[in-house]
Structure formats: structure tokens, C-alpha cells
Amino acid sequence: MMHKKKKSLAAYPFLLPALISIAIVTCIPIIYTIVISFTNYNLYHIEEFSFIGIKNYLEVISGSIRAVFFPVLGWTIVFAALSTLGSYAIGMFLAVLLNNPHMKESKVYRSILIIPWALPATIAILAWQGLLNEQYGGINNLLHTLGLQTAIPWMTDVFWARFGIIMVNLWLGFPYMLNVCLGSLQSISTTYYEAAKIDGATKWQSFRNITFPLVFKVSVPLVVATFASNFNNFGNIYMITEGGPARLESQFAGYTDILASTTYKMTTWSNRYDLAATFSVFVFIIVGVLTLVNMNLSGSFKEAD
């Protein structure tokens, strides 16, 4: 027992640099944000601010900020869910096609389809920003060339702005899901399909009863992690639409703003650090719950000898 305890103590000097880094980069900012959420630290109280208890939380849940928080939360969930499930569906569909042993060009197609994942995200998003421009964007110019005179209002119409954002996210996200599903498909034994074929199962029945359950079981932790990532996908939203079109009833959030971009605007545009910190705490709780779910699904908490 004493020998094991000495071994454990001997490990701490090696862990100390990492622990210090985690404390400085992660723990202290989280604690500071939580503290700020219980104060009135904003543009009017920068030098002299005071603790006001849970007033900010009540303001967000049942006060005037409620009209901003809940619509943005709803859109954030829809955006993350459609982006994640859509990317997974596209990745699964393409993985099943490319996993065909009779397709000799599958490696070429894989190389082409992985390009959105291989490109630097900033460059890809800026390219899409140009394509979605209403006046000189590539998509509207193509539609005009095809004889469609009406340009799609990608930046000014709520539906088309949200549709464009999700379309970009699907394009950026499906290559990752494609690789996840391909790896899972290649681990499935062919004996399952041979047995199903002998029993007279169709290809759809084989997919529904063999392929999908086995692939989804392996990939569900990655799907949950991707949902958490999309929940906080600030870059795609802000770089393409900056949260627009604007909401007339709110200065803090536009119709495509998610919680992360709304928090950013509260901080940099309105200097409402108190409300921004409160929003950050809510985001932290939601993403933290998703992370715990992900760890349970992936078996991270299970001890092994």
C-alpha cells in the first residue's frame, strides 16, 4: 500500500506543468466568468461594480432578456441538430456507396469528398461568404445564367440566411462523418451479410438491421461530440452572416445568431459583460451535460484492469 502511494506521489512533479496550464487557461477563466455573472459589471459599472446575486439569471430566464435568450437557444439547438444529423446522414449514405468492393474508383472519390475537411476552415468559410453574396455571389450569378432572374436573398431573408448557414455547415461537416462511417463499415464482418442474403433479406433490410445499428453504436459518441461542437460553432455564423438579418426587437442578437455569437456581441458590441457571462454559464452547463453524456456513451468512466 505504501509502495503504491509513493508511486502516486512521484507522478505529481511530472503532472504539475500540465495541471498549472489547465488551471491558468481553463479553470481560472471559468471561475472568473461565473463570478462576473453575479455582478453588474457592464459599460456603466466598469470601475465600480458590485455583486447583485442571481439578478442576471432571473433577467435571462424571466426578465427582459428572455425575449432574446429563448429564441436564440431554440435556433442554436435546431442549428446544431440539423448540422449534426444532416452531416451524419450524408456521411453514412456516401460511406455505404464507397464501401462497395466492386467500385474500383472508390479511393479517388474518397480523396475528392474529403477536400472540405482538408481545407482550412477559415478559407472555406470565406469562400462560402463570397458564394452567398446577394449581388455578385457565385450561386446567384449561376442562377441568373440559368435564366432565373430572382436572386436568393441569402443575407436579408431569415429563412434563406438560416438555410445557407446550415448548407455551409453540412458541406464542412459531412467528410468527417464519412470517415467515421467508413471506418465502422470496414469493421463489420461480411458473415452477417452472407447470413442475411441466405435468409432472403433485401439490401434495405440488411442496411436497417445490420449496417445502421452497428455503425451507429460505434459512432454515437462522435455524433454527440459533433453536436456539442456545432452548439458552439461561432466561426461559421459570425464570418458568413455576422448573425444577421437583424432582429428589430433586440440589439444583442440577429436571426442567425447562436448563443456563442450572441455572447460575443454582448461583450464587444454592447459591453454587457454581466449578461455575457450569464449566457456563458448557460452554454457551459449545456455543453458540460453533453460532454458527460458523450463520456458515458464512450465508456470513458469505466475502469479497466
pLDDT in tens, 103-132: 888 889 998 999 998 888 889 999 999 999
Rounded CA-CA distance 165/237 in Å is: 7
Q: Which residue from 75, 77, 78 is spatially nearest to 253, judged by alpha carbons?
A: 75
Using one digit for the tens of pLDDT, what is the confidence trace for 19-50?
A: 899 999 999 999 999 999 999 999 888 888 89
Rounded CA-CA distance 156/134 in Å is: 9
Query: Is the model's pLDDT at 159 over the cut of 70?
Result: yes
179-181-186-188 Cα dihedral, nearest 10 degrees:
160
Mean pLDDT of the chain, nearest integer: 89
Q: Which residue from 43, 16, 21, 75 is spatially nearest to 261, judged by alpha carbons?
A: 75
Query: Is the model's pLDDT at 8 over the cut of 80?
Result: no
pTM for this entry: 0.90
Lowest-confidence range among 75-79, 266-270, 274-278? 266-270
Strand, coil or helix: 39: strand
Using one digit for the tens of pLDDT, what is the confidence trace for 43-66?
A: 888 888 899 999 999 999 998 899
pLDDT of res. 231: 93
